[in-house]
Amino acid sequence: MELNPNINRTIAVMSGKGGVGKSSVSALLTVEMARRGLKVGIMDADITGPSVPTMFGIVNIRPTINEAGIFPVETEKYKIQVISINLLLERPDQPVIWRGPLLSKAIQDFWNEVLWSDLDFLILDMPPGTGDVPLTVLQSMPLDGAVIVSSPQDLAFMIVKKAIHMVQQLQKPVLGLVENMSFIQCPKCQEIIYPFGQPKGKDISTQLQIPFLGELPIDPVLSEYCDAGKIEEYENPKIKNIVDMLMVGFS
Ligand SMILES: Nc1ncnc2c1ncn2[C@@H]1O[C@H](COP(=O)(O)OP(=O)(O)OP(=O)(O)O)[C@@H](O)[C@H]1O
């Protein structure tokens, strides 16, 4: 795929493991970047499990399509440009039962046919695993690098390391690791609890010689806001630190 003159930087958010918070982290990165005055877009590359429109409260809105291409839908508050297969389906619960080549083709179309407008950053919310879609993105997209998301369990890290090695084998930069669901703070006594054991993201990043971008807590408010389509309202200083760290690589 060719460089797109309307997109300055492209970052894939990935993890070999499912359910660790890729979509949440992708959305939070775009929101924080938009708060800083950057023009951002998010491509929901998770074709079979798309969740981005729901998080941003985009319901019953369809992209405008004309002979020039597909116009991404803009979010209400920060005008983040969004494209997702769910914006193109008749019903959001309609399954997409496609084999790998078709999934890859959809990603290529999202890159080539969507009329992204002057983006500083395009964030790709990737599907779990190391299958066709991550391969297409890593092999053929002009990617600036990948942000890796993990949760603190050993099992999660074992699988997440596969994604890190995939990125490295395909000679794309690993921009850093985010450890999601690292801890929970008791709302009554403020004690920090580690339900999945002590955080290990920092040590694993050092071992693998990749930047550690930071930790995010388990926060029921985040989950509630994702479900309610209010992710643009969510605030957490931890996400600011993560974006600060990420931006170091682009300064
Ligand atoms: N830090 C967190 N605190 C509380 N809930 C969270 C947190 N991170 C993610 N969640 C919740 O966990 C669920 C899974 O998160 P998300 O969809 O971001 O994961 P994913 O890795 O993209 O999943 P998939 O592998 O299915 O694409 C969502 O309901 C989300 O709201």
The CA angle 77-137-223, to the nearest 5 degrees, is: 40
Give the whole-angstrom CA distance, residue 109 versus residue 102: 10
Which residue ranges form the domains of the chain, and what is each CATH number? 7-248 (3.40.50.300)
Distance 125 CA to ligand 1 centre (A): 12
Question: Hey, whose CA ends up nearest to atom 5 of ligand 1?
Answer: 223
Which tens digit of pLDDT belongs to each residue from 180-215? 999 999 989 999 999 998 999 999 999 999 999 999
> What is the distance of C-alpha 204 from the center of its chain?
21
CA 158 – CA 150 distance, rounded (Å): 10
User: Which residues are near ligand 1 (CB < 6 Å)?
Assistant: 18-24, 46, 49, 51, 128, 180-181, 216, 218-219, 222-223, 226
Greater confidence (157 vs 214) lies with 214
Tens-digit pLDDT profile for residues 217-234 = 999 999 999 999 999 999
For residues 35 and 42, give the distance between their C-alpha atoms in angstroms, rounded to a whole number.
Answer: 15
What ipTM does this complex have? 0.98
- Report the binding-site residues for ATP: 16-23
DSSP per-residue string spanning 17-74 = STTSSHHHHHHHHHHHHHHTT--EEEEE--SSS--HHHHTT--S----EETTEEPPEE
Average pLDDT over residues 118-147: 94
Q: Determine the straight-line distance between the first and last CA of the chain, rounded to whole angstroms.
A: 25
